Structure 1
Amino acid sequence: MLKRTISMTAAGAALVVAAVAGCGSNAQPIQVNLAASEVLAQAAQKTAEVTSYTVDAVVNVTHPQEGNGKVQGRMLYQSKPQLSVDLTLDSLDMGGQSLPGGMRAVLQGDTVYVKVEALKDLLGATKSWIKVSLSEMGGGSAEVNQYLSQIQQFDLGNMTKLVTASQDVKSVGTESVNGEDSTHYSGTFPVDVAVQQLPADKQEQAKAGLAELKDVKFDIWVAADGLPRKLALNGSKEGATLDATLFFKGYNEAVNIQAPPADQVGELPKGTTN
């Protein structure tokens, strides 16, 4: 049961990470006469420079053996003065099993704080939050290490790089996204080609996060500053499907990511690592 709960938590975080698009900064208005592929190339460059943002995400998956799953949540991200992430999953259902109370994780530097009520009960923890140093997890259990590694993988520029592999992207009109006029682009990208746009150490994770789908259809809404405001991904392979929608806002705006109060934080109980 402990392995199942930790694995569900890891899977939920992995789904969000897999679907999250890249973000950028130093935005200048894009030229309206750019080809769709050029817009995506500019977006990939701009999103790599963003230092903070907020994203809301809904991810639905189906699998012929493992069943259906849904993840819904939000994330705050900042890269300076240190890498910090505040991830809240309100809904986490995998294969007919749900995670009561959802999940929250706060990453600051090389320390992650995890709040999962079901995990707390199973581990026998006495505090609401569990604190784990990423640098000390080399000898930890495989499940916990898998989960913690997912929390570190918020390099959100990578998804924008993936869509630049599209050979059929085109503009399909202008729409309002959260009150902002945005150009809607639609296309597909082959996963095996797209992941080659990423650094070598990110490619295997990207393949796993996209469930090794053969082709992915995407729709991306880009505002006048060249940054995405919405991204939708759809893919399938041998009965497995992925359907994700993400909304982005607050580029380079100040975010407040705080570690939980010290009196609510405990260490990972002994006996949970191998």
Structure 2
Amino acid sequence: MLKRRITLAVAATGAAALVAVAGCGSTGSTASGAVPIQAKLAAAEVLEQAAQKTQEVTSYTVDGVVDVTHPQEGTGKVQGRMVYQSKPQLAADLTLDTANFGGQSLPGGARAVLQGDNVYVKVETLNKVLGATKPWIKIPVSEGGAEAKQFLDQVQRFDLANVTKLVTASQNVKQVGTESVSGVDTTHYGGTFPVDTAVAQLPAEEQAQAKEHLAELQNVTFDIWVGSDGLPRKLTMSGEEKGGKFNANLFFKGFNEPVSIAAPPADQVGDLPRN
């Protein structure tokens, strides 16, 4: 049972690391109705406008790499991508190519799909520990306990609007220059934001979890690359406190484009073993 819990924790942590520190793409398409940013806007105004524009986004894809260092647990790295939609219902398809923490890793990576009322998880190591006979394990959100609840919470927090809202707390943001990000012309802004002030701008139900993941940090350094449509194409965040460090690089694309997030074929899905 202990080994099972450790493996489940590694899988859940891998998902969480990718989607939680984000601020959580590659070429992004322009969202419908996009209005070019006026060149004379102050940097802080651009971020405010970006936060408003992201509220119109209902689907996107993000590619990310997150490196973390913990004084007791060691180093870790997560690399993967996620397809996300909020309408007509919340759904997500997360693939982790690399996930390792403190000497533990997931050989072959991992994949998790949130679709309807279920989370479907495909992790080779997890299947071996549980003795599963099918490649995918289905965890009903309502019955799946802490593992399913954690994944759902992380996906719900991976909201582009909330992520962009964090950086609007910066009091020192400035324009760095203009750059091309995966073929898209963008304006580069950089600065820092105080964690407490940034978290306070999120919806009340999101604040406790966000603060937990950034608990040891006082300030976060960020860089954000914003397209002419007001939407972020790239975001980097880093922080260090009490020996702990994190560095996240995220690329956004496919804003408001149709996505297909489906449950795995039924004959490849088994239930979560109870013993």
| TM-score with structure 2 setting the length | 0.93
Aligned equivalents of 2:23, 2:255: Cα separation in 1: 13
Aligned equivalents of 1:135, 1:262: Cα separation in 2: 20
Q: Does 1:51 align with 2:58?
A: yes
Q: After TM superposition, give the deviation of residue 120 of structure 1 in Å.
A: 0.9
2:197 is matched with 193
Aligned equivalents of 1:181, 1:15: Cα separation in 2: 29
Which letter does structure 1 place at the counterpart of 2:239?
A: G
The correspondence of residues 44-83 of structure 1 with structure 2, limited to 5 A, is: 44-83=51-90
Q: Does 1:242 align with 2:246?
A: yes
1:30 corresponds, among 37, 56, 64, to 37
Q: Does 1:162 align with 2:166?
A: yes
1:224 is matched with 228
Map Cα deviations across residues 51-82 of structure 1 (whole Å, 9 max, x no partner).
11110000000011110000000000112222
The correspondence of residues 98-247 of structure 1 with structure 2, limited to 5 A, is: 98-137=105-144, 140=145, 142-143=146-147, 145-247=149-251
Map Cα deviations across residues 176-223 of structure 1 (whole Å, 9 max, x no partner).
000011000000001111100001110111112234311100000000
Aligned equivalents of 1:78, 1:20: Cα separation in 2: 16
- Gapped regions of structure 1 (runs ≥ 5): none
SS in 1 for 2:129: helix
Which letter does structure 2 place at the counterpart of 1:198?
A: L
Q: After TM superposition, give the deviation of residue 110 of structure 1 in Å.
A: 2.2
The correspondence of residues 85-104 of structure 1 with structure 2, limited to 5 A, is: 85-104=92-111
Map Cα deviations across residues 16-56 of structure 1 (whole Å, 9 max, x no partner).
12233379954211111111001000111111220111100
Q: After TM superposition, give the deviation of residue 127 of structure 1 in Å.
A: 0.7
Does structure 1 retain, via aligned residues, the 8 Å contact 2:94–2:111? yes
Instruction: Count how many residue pairs are aligned between Structure 1 and Structure 2.
Output: 268
Which letter does structure 2 place at the counterpart of 1:92?
A: A
Calculate the aligned-residue CA RMSD, in Å: 1.7
Does structure 2 retain, via aligned residues, the 8 Å contact 1:6–1:144? no
Which letter does structure 2 place at the counterpart of 1:260?
A: P
Which letter does structure 1 place at the counterpart of 2:130?
A: L
Q: After TM superposition, give the deviation of residue 135 of structure 1 in Å.
A: 1.9
Aligned equivalents of 2:154, 2:123: Cα separation in 1: 16
| TM-score with structure 1 setting the length | 0.93
- Gapped regions of structure 2 (runs ≥ 5): none
Does structure 2 retain, via aligned residues, the 8 Å contact 1:196–1:203? yes
